[in-house]
Amino acid sequence: MCGCAKDIAIMITGIYENGDTDVHYDYCENLDDGRGFTAGIAGFCSGTGDGWMVIEEYKRLTGSYGDFESMASALEKDATDGSDSTSGIEDYCSVWEKLGKSDKNFQQAQDNIRDQLYYDPAEQASNTLGARLDVTQGQLFDTAIQHGAGDDADGMQALITNTNESFNSDQPGDSGNTLNVNGHNVDEIVWLKKFIEVRTADLKNPKEKDNQGGNYWAQTTYRTESYSYIIDQKEYMWTSSTSAKLDGCAKTFALAITNIYENGDTDFHFDYCENLNDGRGFTSGIAGFCTGTGDAWEVVQKYHSLTGGNDKFTPMDSVLKQYAEDSDSSTKGLDNYCKVWEELGKTDKKFRKAQTLMRDEMYFDPSQELGAKVGLQLSISQAQMYDAGVQHGTWADKDGLPTLIEETSASFGNDTLDGNSGSTLDVNGHKVDEITWLKKFMQVRQDHLLHPREKYNQGDNYWAQTLYRVRSYEYAIDRKEYVWTDSVKLLDNDGKPVCIRCETAKCPAKQ
């Protein structure tokens, strides 16, 4: 794997490690997972030794430990002892974050150790197997990052061995590459599916004690589920892109646009909380998680899994659980709910991570999977699926995203190629231009916003006030902004054009 394919593998793992595709050289926090501080582009840990290796590499490149000098002896001892103690290294994260932001040598040190410890061993393991597909090599790299590349009971090599031992006969497939496993011919994708199965089982029940802290690994099966999705899409080789998810700038735009609809600007309002009196109880956080629909309770449970279960939401658990089970919009017994949500949302990294994980698990990932089943390829279509998923839900009730998609596709009984999107869908055996399909989808969605079928979506006629979520996308379609790269222009909640940019990109000229 090289060039763009390596970059894609690194970005996918970046999503799992930090929630996006950016390279977080300055990331640092204590996850309370028995590994001390976790930091940098590959989750280097002060308690496992790889964090110390980065600092040693930094010294090799610069001639000194720099701002780590006062902590060097404590860090070396923690690495040698495998200790998760943070005593004597209290300033570790502040130094890591500062150097990670701007020091090119520190960034290079991280790149070097990531490749030395994880990428290179994963590539060597892939070559030993005879694997040739980028998706296999990408999964092995991600495994090496999380499990380690060694041969301990949870390590990448142990998982490979366990996978190989399961094959005692030839296993054909359609990947185009065959591995020699124990003298048997095994299709590479058949092997990879088995490897993912073995790794998922290990995530749920790690063998090594130091991987069992807080049941944290069991919360990360999205690392294998995402690759299973790529396999289902038959995206075996990666050239310029892979549709594991709408990602990079395009994902940033999709999230930011929905943020405008939810909170009035493009920021991520982890601390947002209020009662909209729309029949859903309190609405809060980055995806409008509601106490009356159950998704807020899912966030709180995810937060419990990251904190160990004894945090400021714990006294409200029984009430939140009951309202979630009953789809009850009552706020009785939740007097401190918004106060706690706002407080944690401002500063607590674990609470923010819980929201990000549940947003993707409940809305982003399912919306992209539903769109992929239709065959959607354009950024604007995939982003509209996400926004509809957030507002309507990704489940199959009478107003849910699956229902909207089903009603849209059912309306096509002939080839409809009157669009110019460059992407053609197979809908009920007919060829349909993707933008033509998207326009119909938005008509269907608008009808559900004006006339919700489910009673709990009818509160105070609130949905009918949110037609801007459709009209904004219609504006982008009129501008033919189908594929999003550097910037995109849509309408805000007041109908005014707003440009969303990726880093330093310029916005398109007015039209």
Q: Is 17 a catalytic residue?
A: yes
**Catalytic annotation on 33?**
yes
The number of beta carbons lying within 10 Å of the beta carbon of residue 408 is: 21
Question: What angle do helix axes 365-374 and 401-410 make, rounded to 10 degrees?
Answer: 10
User: 17, 271, 399, 433: which is the annotated catalytic residue?
Assistant: 17
Q: Which residue has the tokens 């674990």?
A: 350
Q: Which one is catalytic: 20, 22, 26, 33?
A: 33
Q: Reduced to 3 states, what is the DSSP secondary structure of residue 101?
A: helix
Query: How far is Cα 426 from Cα 389, in angstroms, rounded to an integer?
Result: 22
For residue 388, CA distances in Å to 19, 105, 448, 467, 497 come to: 21, 44, 11, 12, 20
Sign for the CA dihedral angle at 98, 100, 102, 104 comes to positive
Cα–Cα dist 474/49, whole Å: 53
Phi, psi of 218 (to 5 degrees): -65, -20
Q: What is the C-alpha to C-alpha distance for residues 9 and 139, in angstroms, rounded to an integer?
A: 8
Judge residue 495's burial from the number of C-beta atoms within 10 Å of its C-beta, 0-12 exposed, 13-18 middle, 19 or more buried. exposed
The per-residue DSSP string of 383-445 comes to HHHHHHHHHH-SS-STTSHHHHHHHHHHT--S-B----SS-EEEETTEEEEHHHHHHHHHHHH
Interatomic CA distance for residues 66 and 464, integer angstroms:
59
For the annotated catalytic residues, the residue numbers are 17, 33
